[in-house]
Amino acid sequence: MKQTNGQNIKSEQPYLSWQRRSFTFVQASQEQRTLTSGCPKKKADTLPNQAIVRYFSRSPSKRRSIMHPKFNRCKEIWSLKIAPKLQVFLWKILQGSLPIGENLIKRGMTTSSNCFRCGELETIPHLFFECQFAKRVWEIAPFSIDVTTDLDPSFHSTIIKTRSWRTLPPTGVTSTPLFPWICWAIWKARNQAIFEDRAFAPQDTLIKAITEAKEWKLAQTSLVVDTITPSGKPIKPQPPETITCHTDAAWRIADKFAGLGWTFGDQESTVLLQGSSSQPNVASPLVAEALAASCRS
């Protein structure tokens, strides 16, 4: 039995309890540590001295990552094929920095922390999984399994479970995870109802999630840049009757005078027709090139 800060703590049975912003540890028998912090008390693992010091010297966000050692943020968030804004959104949820009722009341920024739909305490699990509105969205979500039985109060665990969720093909978003987009749609529906007085049905919320996912996926495919044929690689031969036109232009800035030239040739590089001319009062080199391409003086 040891006494610390006026409290008697049994060193034989170390425990872990959660109390917001209140962490203490004391020397225990056999190099064990008692971590005091308040939620329901749990048995603590045996930790060496250096591990305890490193734990309490870390920031709160890093402490949360220690409490979820199997969660790889790089793999589960930053490597997902989703919009960057959704990656930041998921990161904020896991960091506990999303401005929901529970977090706002902790910061003294609101007088009510209840869900505006059902009156329950607005927490991350309630907003995204437990509220009747969210439950209805997940019930009609186009997944190959009943995801309502796979939702976990821990957002960390749920993200890991979503790896096995398969989106049904008719949605058109099989190559990108739909779970973040649905969470994003639920969050936007909540904000629009509170700040804009615009209410959306669960079906509309799900349709918006699928639509935004498809639009983002389509935008990524449209960014593919045409590749240039490497030097020395054989060019596909053209038909024998093909005639090639080459044009060029020169432009003098002092008097805005341009010289134009063009040639026509066949596949054997035989010049069939050629010509040149000059043109005054040409506004720019681009205009000069355009005049040369028109093949007229």
267-285: per-residue pLDDT in tens? Answer: 777 888 888 999 899 999 8
Residues 93, 207, single domain; the answer is yes
Residues 87, 173, single domain; the answer is yes
Is residue 52 situated within a structural domain? yes
Per-residue model confidence (pLDDT) at position 179: 93
- Enumerate the β-bridge partners of residue 153: none
| 168 pLDDT higher than 90 | no
Residues 141, 193, single domain; the answer is yes
Residues 52, 101, single domain; the answer is no
Residues 217, 188, single domain; the answer is yes
Residues 162, 102, single domain; the answer is yes
Helix (H, G, I), strand (E, B) or coil at 135: helix
Per-residue model confidence (pLDDT) at position 14: 40
* Angle between helix 132-139 and helix 202-221 axes, rounded to 10 deg: 60
Per-residue model confidence (pLDDT) at position 234: 59
Q: Which of 119, 211, 223 lies closest to 172 in space, CA to CA?
A: 211
Q: Which domain holds residue 119?
A: 73-221
Is residue 237 situated within a structural domain? no
Is residue 94 situated within a structural domain? yes
Over the chain, what is the mean pLDDT?
75
Residues 80, 199, single domain; the answer is yes
Per-residue model confidence (pLDDT) at position 268: 77
Cα gap 202→225, rounded to integer Å:
38
Per-residue model confidence (pLDDT) at position 5: 52
Cα gap 274→125, rounded to integer Å:
76
Residues 182, 108, single domain; the answer is yes
Residues 192, 91, single domain; the answer is yes
Per-residue model confidence (pLDDT) at position 232: 53
Answer for the pair 179, 81: CB distance below 8 angstroms, yes or no.
no
Residue count of the chain, please give it. 297
Kindly give, in sequence order, each residue whose CB lies less than 8 Å from that of residue 152, ignoring residues fewer than 6 positions away: 129, 158, 161
The pLDDT tens digits for 3-29 are 545 455 444 444 333 333 333 333 333
Output DSSP code: residue 26.
E
Is residue 186 situated within a structural domain? yes
- How many separate domains does the chain show? 3
Kindly give, in sequence order, each residue whose CB lies less than 8 Å from that of residue 243, ignoring residues fewer than 6 positions away: 264, 265, 266, 272
Residues 146, 270, single domain; the answer is no
Q: Which residue has the higher pLDDT, 219 or 2?
A: 219
Residues 169, 276, single domain; the answer is no
Is residue 24 situated within a structural domain? yes
The pLDDT tens digits for 196-208 are 999 999 999 999 9
241 pLDDT band (50/70/90 cuts)?
confident
Residues 50, 82, single domain; the answer is no
